[in-house]
Structure 1
Amino acid sequence: MTKDILDKSSDRAQSLYKGLVVLQCFSEGHATMTLSEVADTVGMNRATTRRFLLTLVDLGYLSLEGKRYTLTPKVMTLGYNYLSNLPWWQLANPVAEEISRHLSESCSIGVLSRDQLIFVARAQGPRALTINLSPGRVVPVHTAGIGRVLLADLNEDEQRQFFERNPPTGLTPYTVTEVPKIREALVEIKKQGYAIVDQELEVGLLAIAVPVRDSRGKAVAAIGISTQAQRRTKDELVNDLLPVLKDGASRISQLI
């Protein structure tokens, strides 16, 4: 990722790019890292990496204890600033919570930001799932129901470019990684108006999602239900959950 950034033309602020790459390398499973670990992850030398790390400490986004750097709660302000500028999000969150209560399942809302699927709202159901899909979480787009719905709304050229930039990788034995098969599924998703993903993000996780469209008909977000595969069948997702999801998506669309 760093090399791609550094290959950009000279009119880019490469120092800003590098600093953000350093910040983004702190993720789930890597919440605390040493200078050497960060340098190896981002592919920069230790001296340069150290300058960026110390700058982020000064700005309050990282803390330094001994030799380990750790994210601070201040990074949450970046996500909040984004969400606070989405007027519809404040009104959409209660819709997700209502759907979750009604179906006794976990409900999420996600958006496609460049090539990343980012969850912006989450209503946890009464049964906890092993995977964490809380706001701010990023997962591979092609492995999630919400991601599939948003990919299906792209035109053929946009889809082709997306998969060229992001070759699919397998997370479970069930993850589809062949681009032609994924694109064939996207055609069907576009036609039927919803996506079902069966254990492609995590074994035992079954999901269904529908698009949330703006006044121009563009899918600006998607809302979905995640459940345990042993609790629900695909037919139950379509017959019992889909109508409720579609109603919720329609209500959110009216707020945009």
Structure 2
Amino acid sequence: MAEDREKPAEFVEALAKGIAILECFDAANPEMTLSEVARRVGLSPAAARRSLMTLETLGYVGRKDKRFHLRPKLLALGSAFYFTARVDEILQEDLRALVDQFGDASSIGTLDGENVIYVAHLSVQRARRAAAVPGARYPAYATSMGRVLLAGLSDGELESYLETYEPKPLTAKTCTDRGALRQEILKARQEGYATTVDQLDYGITALAVPIRDGDGTTIAALNTSGYTGIVTPQQLVTERLPALRQAASHIALQLTRYPTLRLVLSG
């Protein structure tokens, strides 16, 4: 996993602290005081203040009434990735084809530590549910894409993940038992796909398949999802799995033509 890598001698702690501060803001914590930021990131108030002052000076963080918030300038960092990797040009075509064929929603994600991070997404859905916008991060164990990506890890990496990460219930149906979760991941490895129902949020039934590079390494995942109660996992497998696998193969072929995107997906 990414967090397990040894820090090189050139590692800049100050930069890492600043990035950690940016990442600690989320939908539940859009505005925070200095002490709240320090507590969330695990820094002393003095260290958090230095990073916040730097980020504020650079325009990435704003402040009002002693509460800090992110500023739109951060979008420039995300758009730089989006355009240099040519996400819209290369990935959206296949997502659009899937959504045109089946409706609902389709996404592409990759593994980022213990989370799946969404790289591309397209949806015709309007109901309130967990956002799957590019850049959104969710626990891998609770998503179909995350389970496919975990299935692509080596045996040692998977066991390390299961031994060190503690799954938390996000709904009453979330699988948090390590043994049961291991079986689901191994099943996804054997079958080449994963399905989930109401694991991340109520109302989400999803199917995901791996996107593999030329040597068979899983570097990303592709999913299709619908509303629980309207579609079932078996329906997704029967009606959408062939098209999903065909799209994943096409994306994998595209990655051979656009090495920059392959590099950013594989980390």
Separation (CA, whole Å) in 1 of partners of 2:163 and 2:204: 27
Separation (CA, whole Å) in 1 of partners of 2:71 and 2:178: 38
Separation (CA, whole Å) in 2 of partners of 1:105 and 1:244: 14
Give the aligned residue type for 1:153: G
Equivalent residues of 2:111, 2:117 under 8 A apart? yes
For residues 114-153 of structure 1, what are the structure 2 equivalents within 5 Å? 114-153=113-152
Instruction: Name the SS of the counterpart of 1:32 in structure 2.
Output: coil
Separation (CA, whole Å) in 2 of partners of 1:177 and 1:242: 26
Quote the residue 2:68 is aligned against.
69
Instruction: Name the SS of the counterpart of 1:207 in structure 2.
Output: strand
Answer yes or no: is 1:232 the counterpart of 2:236.
Answer: no
Instruction: Name the SS of the counterpart of 2:110 in structure 1.
Output: strand
Larger mean CA deviation between 88-97 and 240-249 belongs to 88-97
Separation (CA, whole Å) in 1 of partners of 2:27 and 2:162: 24
Equivalent residues of 1:107, 1:125 under 8 A apart? no
Query: In structure 2, do the counterparts of structure 1 residues 41 and 114 end up closer, same or farther at CA, with 3 Å as the change threshold?
Result: closer
Larger mean CA deviation between 145-154 and 235-244 belongs to 235-244
Equivalent residues of 2:151, 2:186 under 8 A apart? yes
Separation (CA, whole Å) in 2 of partners of 1:33 and 1:60: 17
Calculate the TM-score normalised by the size of structure 1: 0.90
Quote the residue 1:189 is aligned against.
188
Quote the residue 2:174 is aligned against.
175
Equivalent residues of 1:129, 1:228 under 8 A apart? no
Report deviation, 1:207. 0.8
Equivalent residues of 2:196, 2:205 under 8 A apart? yes
Cα RMSD of the aligned pairs, angstroms, is: 2.1
Quote the residue 2:207 is aligned against.
208
Gaps of 5+ in 1: none
Report deviation, 1:127. 4.2
Separation (CA, whole Å) in 2 of partners of 1:89 and 1:235: 30
Instruction: Name the SS of the counterpart of 2:32 in structure 1.
Output: strand
Gaps of 5+ in 2: 256-267
Deviation by residue 1:9-42 (Cα, 9 ceiling, x = unmatched): 8763222222222111111221221212212222
Separation (CA, whole Å) in 2 of partners of 1:169 and 1:112: 18
Deviation by residue 1:50-104 (Cα, 9 ceiling, x = unmatched): 1111100111111122212111122223233333443566311221122112111
Q: Percent identity?
A: 33
Equivalent residues of 2:144, 2:196 under 8 A apart? yes
Answer yes or no: is 1:94 the counterpart of 2:96.
Answer: no
Equivalent residues of 1:108, 1:122 under 8 A apart? yes
Quote the residue 2:48 is aligned against.
49
The count of residues paired between Structure 1 and Structure 2 equals: 252
Separation (CA, whole Å) in 1 of partners of 2:220 and 2:119: 9
Query: In structure 2, do the counterparts of structure 1 residues 9 and 99 end up closer, same or farther at CA, with 3 Å as the change threshold?
Result: closer
For residues 93-112 of structure 1, what are the structure 2 equivalents within 5 Å? 93-112=92-111
